[in-house]
Amino acid sequence: MHAMVFRRAHEPLCLEDCPEPTPGKGEVLVEIAACGVCRTDLHIVDGELDQPKVPLVPGHEIVGRVKACGPRVKKLESGMRVGIPWLGHACGHCPYCAMGSENLCDEPLFTGYTRDGGYAEACVADESFAFELPEGTDDAELAPLLCAGLIGHRSLKMAGDAKRLGLYGFGAAAHIVAQVARYEGREIFAFTKPGDKEGQAFARKMGTSWTGGSDQLPPEELDAAILFAPVGALVPGALKAVRKGGVVVCGGIHMSDIPSFPYANLWGERVIRSVANLTREDARSFLKIVGPAGVKTEIERFALEDANTALERLRRGKLVGAAVLIP
């Protein structure tokens, strides 16, 4: 099979002919129809997440069909359409798993990071961490839901019942979250890079009430803000934008350092919190709401061998919505 393979940080992925993997106990072999390109993939390629399996096939927003089942597979069957997200396995016995927080598992496996992922024609997955997907929707349009959607949804839950919600960085995750938030009756304020007229036009298309640069304050105090841009310098500004008791949620797996800021920005029982990974329950609850909320993803399609081009467009902030690779 063909795959785009990571071997060393700061170097392009290589198109290689690799053996098709064989599913083990409790695993399925999935023929991949589409795989989204996530900022986490970029963090791996750029050496900001520095403990990947090497060599590695990146990618964790996978949509495909079960091609074969390993021993002891109980729920999935050949031909089923499935989605494979970032969390690829949890141990089930550490203190975090025992308390229902498998996203914080001490012995996890992550798709496209510590096990091979979806920048390929096929991959294997733990059947317990693969989700059956409904028919009738384009594979490529579903792919971003498997991380941008899931992490965005978990971030939204961390924002509580915020009615006025700020989204910093309006890309793959934010454009999905905005649709869910509007369905829930929230008012959305979008922050982009200063002067990014294209990004602000995209945010308005998604139904935001206000758009502006990340160097601006919104016209009203926010109840909560979610940061999808991996820029620590945005945290102090977001704290100034939220009301007393408000929360700033950092939705990325990696962020540049947060600079020092006056305690007054935090005072008033404001909260900063991070979001780590996801749980299977996150996936189940989010996938149930996609249809009723009318979520539609904005995507740009790339051939598998053009993964480096897609990553570079993401790095330069030149994507509108999400990039998706088609094997």
Phi, psi of 225 (to 5 degrees): -135, 145
3-state secondary structure of 42: helix
Query: Is residue 18 classed exposed, middle or buried when 0-12, 13-18 and 19+ CB atoms within 10 A define those classes?
Result: middle
| Amino acid identity for residue 200 in this structure | Q
3-state secondary structure of 154: helix
- Determine the Cα–Cα distance for residues 127 and 1; give it in Å rounded to an integer: 21
Render pLDDT for 120-171 as a digit per residue (tens, 0 to 9).
999 999 999 999 998 989 999 999 999 999 999 999 999 999 999 999 999 9
253: closest CA among 63, 114, 98, 132?
114
| pTM attached to this predicted model | 0.94
According to DSSP, the β-strands at 27-37 and 122-126 are antiparallel
Render pLDDT for 229-279 as a digit per residue (tens, 0 to 9).
999 999 999 999 999 999 999 999 999 999 999 999 999 999 999 999 999
- Determine the Cα–Cα distance for residues 28 and 175; give it in Å rounded to an integer: 31
| Inter-residue contact 160 to 243 (CB < 8 Å) | no
Domains of the chain (ranges plus CATH)? Answer: 2-146+297-326 (3.90.180.10), 149-274 (3.40.50.720)
